[in-house]
Amino acid sequence: MIRLTAEQESFRRAVAKFVDAEVVPAAEAIDERAEFPTRLFRRLGELGYLGLRYPEAYGGADADMVTYCLFAEELARGSLSVAAAAAMQSLMGTYFVYKYGSEELRRRYLVPALRGDLVATFALTEPNAGSDVASIATRAQRRGDRYVLRGTKTWVTSAPVADVLTVAAKTSEERGMRSIALFLLDRATMRGITLGKAIDKMSVRGSVTGEILLEDVEVPAEHLLGGETGGVEKIGGILSEIRVMTAAISVGLARAAYGAALAYARERVAFGKPIAEHQAIGFKLADMLTSLHAAILMTYQAAAQLDAGNVIAREAAMTKLFASETAVRITDEAARIFASYGLAMEYPVQRYFRDARFLLPGGGTSEILRVIIGRDLDWDRGQAFA
């Protein structure tokens, strides 16, 4: 059973009110224009939502993971595009400078990013290196007090608008993952950072995505985040949070799709009564609600485990796998309930159906997550049900 504190309940209501008033009315236009939601992004900064997971000293709220998931869920209910952009900013894009950067770097980049004044992102994937991180080809060569980076990154969230990037690169020719390091790049002050091909996506179109080309980019040594090795371990340190967050936005999208399908089924009449009263549709709605309930329970159970300081690599993988696949199924069933109108651009259900596909690769594909889960198939290790 999930028990939210009075403060968490109040926070959820505040976020939901903001989403209903400002995000939902803008969601259709954001999708149609495929433009970064600059106004809403800055509003999230003004309201302090981008800094939820960071200390108050840097403008954050020092909130727990359960609270962060409430924010992510409600935001995704309104627009998965906005939620995706906010997730990159508030986790991956800013985490590494906070965790491994100097106080000067935190003041220069983290603080304005949490206000929404700078757009931050994380660049790991390459044309020939996705889940296979060891195949990263981007190189960082030490030259005096600087590193010179060369390489290509792709599927970079917010690439066309990003001001700062945390980039993974190899510091030696050594095979494997040991020599991967993280660097903080500033597009305003470092030459050689250019935008490559923009990726026109069918889903989360407002979360703009593209390639980043690094051509002899000179990076000061102080922008090396945490040493020349151990980048994979540093990424792994936040991976469970990323996966649980992805589960939360999956729940938010699934809620939106279920709510739309239920409302439509209650007002659409066929054979003399609302289609919700026909068993074929009623059973669909019952299954959707059951799966949604299970995804919610898994998500907040995992978030609470993170707040308790537990290591939940397997549980986080299970949660993301189940919640994202559930969102795909629920959005599909919702579109089926709308029948022909599920194809009509005038109804948001077609956007929910498209956006759900975004959830499958983020935080690890379903296939990779099953590999992780399959490494340890013990039923009860005293963690998942603690």
Tens digit of pLDDT for each residue in 75-98?
A: 999 999 999 999 999 999 999 999
> Residue 381's pLDDT is what?
61
Among 185, 188, 211, smallest CA distance to 200 is for 211
Residue 178 DSSP label: T
Q: Express each pLDDT in 243-298 by its tens digit.
A: 999 999 999 999 999 999 999 999 999 999 999 999 999 999 999 999 999 999 99
- Domain membership of residue 384 (yes or no) is no
**Tokens at residue 76, please?**
């995704």
Tell whether the model's pLDDT for residue 369 goes beyond 60. yes
Residue 123, both tokens: 């660049």
CB 367 within 8 A of CB 312: no
171 and 284 housed in the same domain: no
Same domain membership, residue 135 and residue 31: no
The residue to which tokens 């795909």 are assigned: 328
Residue 381 within any structural domain of the chain: no
Last residue of a domain, one of 213, 228, 243: 228
- Average pLDDT of the segment spanning 208-212: 97
Whether residue 258 lies inside any domain: the answer is yes
- Do 196 and 113 fall within a single domain? no
pLDDT digits (tens, 9 = 90+) for 344-365: 999 999 999 999 999 999 999 9
Instruction: Compute φ and ψ for 175, nearest 5 degrees.
Output: -70, 155
DSSP assignment of 242-260 = HHHHHHHHHHHHHHHHHHH
The pair of three-digit structure tokens given for residue 374, joined into one six-digit string:
């399959």
203 and 162 inside one domain:
yes
Residues 291 and 342 both lie in one domain: yes
CATH of the domain at 153: 2.40.110.10
Cα distance between the two ends of the chain:
12
Task: Determine the structural domain holding residue 311 and report its residue range.
Answer: 232-374
- Residue 215 carries which DSSP code? E
Q: pLDDT at position 384, please?
A: 47
Q: ∠ CA 313-314-318 to the nearest 5 degrees?
A: 120
Q: How confident is the model at residue 173 (pLDDT cuts 50, 70, 90)?
A: confident
Check whether residue 266 and residue 285 sit in a common domain. Answer: yes
On whether the pTM is more than 0.85, the answer is yes
Residue that finishes a domain, picked among 198, 228, 258: 228
**Is the pLDDT confidence value at 47 over 90?**
yes
Indicate whether 249 and 366 sit together in one domain: yes
Q: What is the pLDDT of residue 358?
A: 97
Question: Does residue 100 belong to any structural domain of this protein?
Answer: yes
Query: Which pLDDT score, from 0 to 100, does residue 380 have?
Result: 67
The answer to whether residues 115 and 145 belong to one domain is no
Same domain? 216 vs 102? no
Tell me whether residue 164 is in a domain.
Answer: yes
The total number of structural domains in the chain stands at 3
